[in-house]
Amino acid sequence: MLIPRDRLRSRVRVARLIVFLPLLFISPAFVNTCFFMFFHLSWRSRITFVFGLSVSLAVASTRGQVISPPFVAGFERFARHGDLSLAEAGDLLVSELSCVACHESANSQLTPKRGPTLVGTANRFSEKWLREYLNDPSEKKPGTTMPHMLGHLDDVQRQTVINKLVSFLGTQKKPFQTVRATGAVAVMHEFWNQGDPLRGRNLYHTVGCVACHQPDAKQKTNQTAPTAVDQMISQLDTDELEELGLLRAARRVASVPHGDLVGKYTRQSLTMFLLRPESVRKAARMPNLRLSPSEAADVTAYLLSEKGSEISSKETVVDPAMVSEGKALFVELQCSNCHDATDVASPRMATPWEKLNPEGKHKCWTRPAAAMPYYKLDELQVDAIKSVLKSESMTAEINAAQWVHSRMLQLNCYACHQRETELMKDGGTGVLGGVGRYRKPYFEMVQQVDLGDEGRLPPPLTGVGSKLQPKALKAVFDQRTPAYRRHMKARMPAYHATAVEALVENLPVADRAGKKSESTVFGNADESLFRAGHELSGTGCVECHYFRGESLPGVVGLDLAGITTRVRPEWFHDFVLDPGALKNRTRMPTFFPDGKSNRLDLLDGDVDKQIASLWFYLKDLASQPLPEKIEKVRSQNYELRPVDRPIVLRSFMQDAGTHAIAVGFPEGLHYSYDSEKIRLASAWKGRFIDARGTWFERFTPPAEPLGESLMHFPQGQPFATLDRKDVRWPAWEDQAKWYQFRGYRLDAQGVPTFLYQFAQWQIEERIVPMGQRGLRRQWNIKQEGINAAAPRDESVTLNLCVHQAIKLTRNSGAQVDGGGLQTRLVKLPQGVNGSGDRIIKDERGERWIVPVNGKDQQTVVVEYAW
Amino acid sequence: MVMRSLNLTHFVSVLGFWLIGIQPLVSVVAADDDYYRLLSVATSKAPTESRSKNWKPSPEGLPLEISGMTFLDDQRLAVAIRKGEIWILDGVYDEPASNVTYKRFANALHEPLGLLQHDGALYTAQRSELTKIRDIDGDDVADEYLTAAKGWAVTGHYHEYAFGPKLDADGNLWITLNIGMGLKGDQLKRAVPDPPLGYRQGRWRGWGMVLTPQGELVPMCAGMRSPAGLGANAAGDMFYTDQQGNWVATNSLHHLRPGVFFHHAEALASMNEPGSTIKSVEKVPAGVPLPEAMMQFPQLRPPAVWFPYKRAGQSPTDIMLDTSDGKFGPFSGQFFVGEFTQAGVNRVFLEKVGGEYQGACFPFRSGFASAVLRLAQGADGSMFAGLTNRGWSSLGNASYGLQRLVWTGKTPFEIQEMRATPDGFDLLFTLPVDPESAGDPASYAMQSHTYLYHSAYGSDEIQKQDLTIRSATVSGNGRRVRLVIDGLRELFVHALDADGVRSKAGLPLLHPDAYYTLNHRPE
């Protein structure tokens, strides 16, 4: 199989080369532009365009030089199309190309991105790749933001320098961090070798990688119908699009190039990078997609379609002289300005940024004569940077909105999120960003439910600073925060706090977040508000939302638990009042058309109070009842409802302990039995029991009776042997050794009969409802053999405790009441004729006990009514 | 060149051009499938995460969270599920298993974690008792739930699982009892009063017990943490698996026998209870390497096999003895051990040295749809795996279900047996080896380590040492290699990497790693 496939592949490669040879000189961005234009031009223009394209191709091929300017996502997407002012574009390039890593500046907006840390390079990258990359970074990795640092050297000199640098980098070893396995995180042995490329391919195309990187056109997506706008866009030509202001939405977004991953990484190093990109690239341009170890291995297996590089773990002979020369060069060539390495001298700075002359003799964008960086910028990029250099206002304070905009460009938040932004070039505002129409198909929901784009695309961030509470905003970026929009396959990446500080601080200011406290907006909570909130949430919210993990069937939406710690009270008020006003085209409907409530019966129809009631109900959701409809569904799934036959459930219960057996009857009478201490523990009427905790909860909460008229039965075992003069009922602890629970048997109707042994007596106990009034309890007692425990003394007899309460009242010979329970002896044990029974007292109160003839088979029946 | 291909790819995908038909996506087909095919009988995905407080089963079908399995005959499989029911499945051998029938046999069991057909009834350990379940009236629905044994404490802590039963050669039914973790409130009232050494646990928590054929419940051995798997070998000796955690350095397999202590010190809470087989432990060593701990604490016995963490799983479960006599491949008579977190199965070879069991574990198969909790061998030799990952989590794309592993008839190139010799190890391979690579000491590497015995969660591998392979000698028939190795240490795990060995046909080992727990060096 392998050989033919390889051959086939090489043939295809040759075919590709022949067919597309002329196109080899074009940058990805250029290709994008071409195709975008091509498809949106009229026919006549297309012909002209093709002609022009051929000419420029011819020109490019005669130049014989690779044009591969650095790829900066925000620049490609926005600056090239005039969405940014030249100064904004310049600022972005200055930070992304790390200009001020050498040309120091106090302007924090220009903070250099810097390159990845090179500590550990020796374990991470193949040496061959490193050599090729140093030889000419942008040739090895088109679009790289790393400048050519050896452009001033001839081939021979360059090889010598590379040898030295590589020798030095070979000393940069750092073992990969150990990935801790826990009960929650599976970590296979050498998990980086265990990836599954198919799973990796799916992850790559769904969790968010393709927001920035190139999707594979072959990847199947769940074809979600394009939105009306997208449909329209596909039918319009450029002029029409421009007229309608849709050019930006129609545009194809270029992808951040991967470079030669196979030649560069080992499976382990790429897996570890995907798992924790921030450990290598602190600037977080590549964010942490919250992959599990096995997921990171899967994506690696997909990306390194071939096996990836091998890095020999064997120690190679190192020439110390080469290493130390390499180390000196690392500083000398200003590598250390952008890259951390262990044990290197402090970086060599160049002319401070503010003192640079854009028209001076030495420029970083022309091939240098001496050692200095060489960025292969194109004309627009040079102009943009020059505009920053010339700018007078360079050190001027920028406002919060500009900070947000600038940071979102740098981190490429716009790849996923839309946000309305001031456009400095013309002073107006416009919506920038979003996943773009060609990438939308890769954003899917976990289940196939049509919630439109809102259900599958990352949320727009217009106004987000006035929506989220500061803590919640910060938490969005925190790796420990669980996913909020669980219905989406795409994941919000995690960022280190320092990477997003500017956003967390400036978003609320930029969006003019209100500072009103909860009590200013909603007043104070009270019982009537809780009740109204419970009622209101059940009429609309439940159709689309979860409530602490519970929902109506088929509902896909956000869980409202915790919402009051997430959004600001003012925003909640305004949003619930009129969702569309805060969020364009949201699926959330208004429940207050024209600002009026249609529930005039609740809180006098006061809209503000009704919204406040929702807020307070949700705030207290953990201890509030679920909305009724949800409660009903829940009970359908987990409430045990005996219809034809009794239902038995073994569980932990408050009354009946850890050996509880609950029995429910269709008559609506139910009881719990403690099979450890062998006693009827409690009984109740109405609904039986909810089994969810018993069936499906790891932490085994006690099962709670659902009905009413809960009756607690006496403590203590049913039988004991007593001397006629005994006035104390023995404690269970002293009797336990004589008792043995033996299980139960179900009769044809499904009614259990409990079986147990007390000393030498085998006892069967059966409890059934007595209409709606109470329970009928029957014991069959049989002596089996002579046990050492048998009381030989004639004065010692078997006794049954029929009732126990603080105070007992004898109603008639056969009925004793107490503790809310009427107890009647229906079938007397032999030997009892109304006089043998007695009431004894101990510290627990009074007990009604009946002597039982222990020699013959006996049946005793008692009725309990309450 | 690279830039070119990038531009090309870019260009091509932009256009959706025909050439893209041959994007080099090499799918690494798991070679495992060539030898053992993994089939699904039924698997489901829960809509909630495995650790969710609001965990819910899939809205369709039975919540087949299999916690016990026993074959009733050549066709029907009885399974216990965690919500407390026993179901009888028919049609599980079909390929595809599209007509499986399900019949509920029993219900109202409290988290049963085992199932055994024995003595004309089904036995299962619930949280509070060992129950014998029978159908009396012949309608295939149970009507008798007899308490076969009870008497261990259930304080109400969730971690107090009861596992079993499994039958040993003497007719004893074995059950194992989890330790509780940090008892609180009412739970403490149900703990052993005034326990020795101050450990607060319920009676017999952390113990292995047997129900004798005479119907007596007898405590046998102690020191278990989370003994989720039980199984007897061909001789009928009983073993259990334990899970890494407090006091337990890493996952382990132990031979169950009276009076032996395994790891978890809190099981000593029951030391003075009537019937206890562990006496007069006055001090538990802590924070010392295991070999030393064993000298200070004579009842503490080493496991027959340590499973080095991550390398040989993260949480072992059921033990299945291959009794298929070759129908399940070349490993007849060996143990297969389920693996929860990594959704797989490991393999164990045991031998008796110095009168005690010891041996090696090997990775065997991964890629199950969810956590493997239960294993059972079918009449055709195939392995059935009962899956459920609720409460913890696992690899795989399902939450629970039933899968089946069938040998294709093709023999994988594996280390079949690894035996200790006075000066090294004797390896038996499943296929003849290539004499050149197998006879080259450089084809092997070995490292030994032990663990710390302490109350903390798990232990690092300590006192690691790389050992020198002196020689590797291939035997006449070409399936045996004798390794002579310097520096073997008793009570240490010896991790072998035989990555360089090739079969006669040039195949690398499917699993080149083996981990031998060398408690005794043969004389």
Give B392 to chain A, closest Cα distance, Å.
6
Residues B290 and B311 in one domain: yes
Q: Do A651 and B110 touch (CB under 8 A)?
A: yes
Q: Which CATH number belongs to the domain containing residue B213 in this structure? A: 2.120.10
Lowest mean pLDDT among A3-12, A209-218, A519-528, B57-66: A3-12
Residues B155 and B241 in one domain: yes
Of B27, B311, B513, which is closest to A198 when you measure between CB atoms? B27
**What pLDDT does residue B181 have?**
93
> pLDDT tens digit string along A342-359?
989 889 999 998 888 888
Report if residue B5 sits inside a domain.
Answer: no
**What pLDDT does residue A792 have?**
57
Separation of alpha carbons A380 and A75, rounded Å: 10
**What pLDDT does residue A361 have?**
83
Q: Which residues of B touch A733 (CB under 8 A)?
A: none
Report if residue B56 sits inside a domain.
Answer: no
**What pLDDT does residue A810 have?**
87
Collect all residues with Cβ–Cβ distance below 8 Å to A32 and sequence separation of at least 6.
A76, A252, A253, A254, B14
Rg of chain A over Cα atoms, rounded to whole angstroms, equals 39
Residues B228 and B361 in one domain: yes
Separation of alpha carbons B54 and A655, rounded Å: 25
Residue A460 has pLDDT above 50, yes or no: yes
Residues B359 and B314 in one domain: yes
State which residue of chain A sits closest to B128, comparing Cα positions: A659
Last residue of a domain, one of B407, B423, B440: B407
Q: Do A215 and B13 touch (CB under 8 A)?
A: yes
Q: Tokens for A545? A: 């939302």
Task: Calculate mean pLDDT across residues B38-55.
Answer: 93
Strand spans (E) along A381-514: 418-422, 429-433
- Pick among B5, B9, B26, B50 to test the A interface (most A CBs inside 10 A): B26
Residues B300 and B425 in one domain: no
Residue A775 has pLDDT above 50, yes or no: yes
Q: Do A184 and B513 touch (CB under 8 A)?
A: no
**What pLDDT does residue B331 have?**
98
Residues B320 and B439 in one domain: no
Whether B121 and B99 have beta carbons less than 8 Å apart is answered as no
Report if residue B96 sits inside a domain.
Answer: no
Give me the residue label for tokens 């109740």.
Answer: A684
CA-closest candidate to residue A557, choices A547, A569, A567: A547
Q: Tokens for B270? A: 């029951």
Give me the half-sphere count of Cα atoms (radius 13 Å) on the Cβ side of residue A327: 16
Residue A311 has pLDDT above 90, yes or no: no
Split at pLDDT 50, 70, 90, the class of A38 is very low
Residue B7 has pLDDT above 70, yes or no: no
Lowest mean pLDDT among A54-58, A553-557, A782-786, B123-127: A54-58
Collect all residues with Cβ–Cβ distance below 8 Å to A36 and sequence separation of at least 6.
A250, A251, A252
Q: Do B109 and A650 touch (CB under 8 A)?
A: yes
Q: Do B51 and A699 touch (CB under 8 A)?
A: no
Residue A150 burial (C-beta neighbours within 10 Å; 0-12, 13-18, 19+): buried
**What pLDDT does residue A835 have?**
58
Q: Which residues of A touch B315 (CB under 8 A)?
A: 183
Whether A702 and A718 have beta carbons less than 8 Å apart is answered as no
Separation of alpha carbons A285 and A587, rounded Å: 32
Chains A & B: contacts with CB separation below 8 Å = 207
Q: Do B54 and A548 touch (CB under 8 A)?
A: yes
Q: Which residues of A touch B22 (CB under 8 A)?
A: 8-9, 12
Q: Which has the higher per-residue pLDDT, B333 or A151?
A: B333
Q: Do A743 and B158 touch (CB under 8 A)?
A: no
Report if residue B477 sits inside a domain.
Answer: yes
Q: Do A216 and B23 touch (CB under 8 A)?
A: yes
Q: Do B156 and A652 touch (CB under 8 A)?
A: yes
**What pLDDT does residue A307 have?**
65
> pLDDT tens digit string along A361-404?
888 999 888 889 999 999 999 999 999 888 765 556 789 999 99
Give B121 to chain A, closest Cα distance, Å.
14
Q: Do A259 and B2 touch (CB under 8 A)?
A: yes
Mean pLDDT, chain A, integer: 87
Report if residue B121 sits inside a domain.
Answer: no
Give B490 to chain A, closest Cα distance, Å.
25
Q: Which residues of B touch A301 (CB under 8 A)?
A: 28
Give A503 to chain B, closest Cα distance, Å.
31
Whether A647 and A695 have beta carbons less than 8 Å apart is answered as no
Structurally, how many domains does chain B consist of? Answer: 2
Last residue of a domain, one of B360, B385, B407: B407
Residues B403 and B423 in one domain: no
**What pLDDT does residue A635 have?**
85
> pLDDT tens digit string along A63-111?
444 568 999 999 999 999 989 999 999 999 999 999 999 999 888 888 9
Mean pLDDT, chain B, integer: 93
Residues B403 and B504 in one domain: no
Longest dimension (CA), chain A: 124
Separation of alpha carbons A710 and A513, rounded Å: 52
Split at pLDDT 50, 70, 90, the class of A452 is confident
Domains and CATH numbers, chain A: 18-67 (no CATH), 73-171+318-395 (no CATH), 400-510 (no CATH), 518-635 (1.10.760), 638-865 (2.70.98)
Report if residue B523 sits inside a domain.
Answer: no
Last residue of a domain, one of B407, B427, B447: B407
Residue A741 contacts B where some CB pair is shorter than 8 Å: yes
Collect all residues with Cβ–Cβ distance below 8 Å to A596 and sequence separation of at least 6.
A605, A607
Whether A31 and A23 have beta carbons less than 8 Å apart is answered as yes
**What pLDDT does residue A422 have?**
84
Q: Do A698 and B27 touch (CB under 8 A)?
A: no
Split at pLDDT 50, 70, 90, the class of A654 is very high
Lowest mean pLDDT among A714-728, B151-165, B200-214, B472-486: A714-728
Separation of alpha carbons B182 and B200, rounded Å: 8
**What pLDDT does residue B112 have?**
98
Give me the residue label for tokens 């913890």.
Answer: B392
Give A590 to chain B, closest Cα distance, Å.
29
CA-closest candidate to residue B196, choices B86, B297, B278: B278
Residues B424 and B340 in one domain: no
Domain that holds residue B268: 37-50+149-345+352-407
Give B354 to chain A, closest Cα distance, Å.
32
Residue A745 contacts B where some CB pair is shorter than 8 Å: yes
Of B11, B48, B107, which is closest to A20 when you measure between CB atoms? B11
Q: Which CATH number belongs to the domain containing residue B428 in this structure? A: 2.60.40.1220
Question: Where would I find the H helices in A420-517?
Answer: 452-456, 464-467, 470-476, 497-510
Residue A660 burial (C-beta neighbours within 10 Å; 0-12, 13-18, 19+): buried
Residues B403 and B369 in one domain: yes
Of B26, B142, B312, which is closest to A305 when you measure between CB atoms? B26
Of B7, B312, B394, which is closest to A26 when you measure between CB atoms? B7
Q: Which residues of A touch B311 (CB under 8 A)?
A: 189
Split at pLDDT 50, 70, 90, the class of A693 is very high
Q: Which residues of B touch A142 (CB under 8 A)?
A: 2-3, 6-7
| Best mean pLDDT range from A596-605, A721-730, B18-27, B168-177 | B168-177
Task: Calculate mean pLDDT across residues A530-538.
Answer: 95
Residues B398 and B448 in one domain: no
**What pLDDT does residue A5 have?**
41
Residue A636 burial (C-beta neighbours within 10 Å; 0-12, 13-18, 19+): exposed
- pTM (2 d.p.): 0.87
Give me the half-sphere count of Cα atoms (radius 13 Å) on the Cβ side of residue A413: 24
Residues B212 and B283 in one domain: yes
**What pLDDT does residue A29 have?**
45
Report if residue B89 sits inside a domain.
Answer: no
Terminal-residue alpha carbon distance, chain B = 63
Strand spans (E) along B65-137: 66-71, 77-81, 85-90, 101-106, 116-118, 121-125, 130-134
Report if residue B232 sits inside a domain.
Answer: yes
- Pick among A9, A16, A300 to test the B interface (most B CBs inside 10 A): A16
Which residues 276-315 of A are in CB contact (within 8 Å) with B? 294, 301-302, 305-306
